[in-house]
Every structure is written in structure tokens, then in C-alpha cells.
Amino acid sequence: MTSPSGGGSRRKRPVLIPVIAVLLASGLGITALLGGLDQVPDPPPEQLGEGAILDQGQFRTQFVAARYVFTPAANEFAEDQRHLELEFKVTNLGDRTTYVGSPQQPGKETTSSVLFAGSILRTTPPIRTEAGGVGAVLTGDELRSTQLHPGVATPVVVRYELDEATEVPDRIVLDMGTFELMGRFPSKVEDWSLATKRVNGKDVAEVAARVTLPVQQGERS
């Protein structure tokens, strides 16, 4: 009584399981051959040049110029100063005053930057300096300002102090990120953060535009 029924069920199983196995294997194989379940690659970043305007979400940013400024020593005790300056015209489109901030330093990139210059994700060639670049508002007077008030087109300069060994490039390429409104954890309060994407399991800032600027030569006495 028991042996025929057991044999019957045993005959059924070996058919079903290999069929499922083959189907799964071929499905996986086809998916793998087609490049896996990864998303469609993002479109390449926008290519911009001098004078172009980029919408960065929180800011509308115009790329005014890049220039090298040599300041000869004021007296025999001072030293010559060499600066690379990046000039922007930034309009804060957000609903509150924010600040210029500093550009990302090579090798110390972060996605937690919330200030304007943090969206200068990297430069090509990278500018290696001791302190990194410093951003400020161009006021035309001695008072230093770093504020970006809503609705005011503000000239901003990001300045790198170069040491003697650093060569000045003919042109510089800026990888610019953008900002998007995101809920903070755990408060859920909406605020502007750098737009990111996941690459190899790590969040990295997304490059929205590559801006190529010729480096102008200048001297300041």
C-alpha cells in the first residue's frame, strides 16, 4: 500500500525541481548577460563654459572667471603671494540667508556640506594647498562677508593660496554638484543637502555639470 504511492510522489518531484532550477538559472544567466539589475546609467554631466549659468536648486550660479593672481611682496620681509581665484555670481533661491562656505578638499570629499562652495566637488587638475580654498563675498571693501541673502545676486570668490611649487594650469575644470530639499534625520525638517547617488554602496555627491574655465593671468600690486 505505502510503497507505490511513495514511489509515485518520488517520480513527480525530480521533474519539477530540475525544471524550476533550469528556469531560475537561465533567468539569472540572461539577467547577468544583459548587465544585471543595475539601473540605467545616468546621463553624463552637462558641459559648461565661462559665463554659463547653472541651476543648483538652492542657487542660481554663473561662472564668471578663473584667474591666477600674483601679488608681489609689499616689503622685504613679506613674501610674494600666488592665488588662484574662481569667481561666481550666486543668487540664493532658498527662503533664508545662507553662507558661502569652502570648496571640497581633494581626498576629503564629503556629502554633508550644506554651504554653496561645498558644491565645488572637485577640480581638474586638483589644487593641493595646505588650507584648501576659502570662499567669501566680493565686497570691494575691507569688510569680509560670507552671507548669501535670498534673492540677491552676490559676487563670490573662492580663493586658493598656492605655494611656490604649484604650477598654474592653463584651464581648470570644476565638477559642480547641486542641492535638493531633503528631510533631515530624525527631525524630518526639510533642508537643502547636496544631491547624491549610490556608487558601489557608497553615497557620493552627484556631478550635475562640468565647467571648463580658462585661467586668466593677473597681477595685483
Partner 1 sequence: MTVTAPASRETPPRRGRRARPGRSGKILSAVAGIVLASAAVVVQQYVPDAKAMGSPLTYTGEMNQEVSADRFSVRVRSVSAARAIENVILEDDPKRTEARGIFLIVQVSATVPKQPTHLVARLLTAEDTVYEPTDRVAAQLTFRETWIQPGWWNSGVYVFEVPPEVIAGARIVITVPTGALVGEAFPPEAEVDLGLDEAAAADLVAKAEPVRQLGKKGSS
Chain centroid offset of residue 55 CA: 14
The stretch among 80-88, 117-125, 152-160, 204-212 that binds partner 1 (CB under 8 A) is 152-160
Does 189 help bind partner 1 (rule: CB under 8 A)?
yes
**Of 86 and 100, which has the nearer Cβ to partner 1?**
100
Q: Which three cell numbers stand for residue 28?
A: 539569472
Q: Which residues contact 205 (CB under 8 A, 6 or more apart)?
A: 104, 109, 111, 119, 121, 177, 194, 195, 196
For partner 1, which residue of 154, 178, 205, 206 counts as binding (CB under 8 A)?
154
**Of 26 and 139, which has the nearer Cβ to partner 1?**
139
Classify residue 98 as exposed, middle or buried by CB count within 10 Å of its CB (0-12, 13-18, 19+): buried
Does 139 help bind partner 1 (rule: CB under 8 A)?
yes
The DSSP element (H or E) to which 29 belongs, if any, is: helix 2-33
**Of 93 and 168, which has the nearer Cβ to partner 1?**
93
| β-bridge partners, 147 | 99
Over the window 8 to 37, marking each residue x when it contacts partner 1 by CB under 8 A and - when it does not, the resulting string is: ------------------------------
Task: List interacting residues with partner 1 (CB under 8 A).
Answer: 95-97, 139-147, 149-154, 186-189
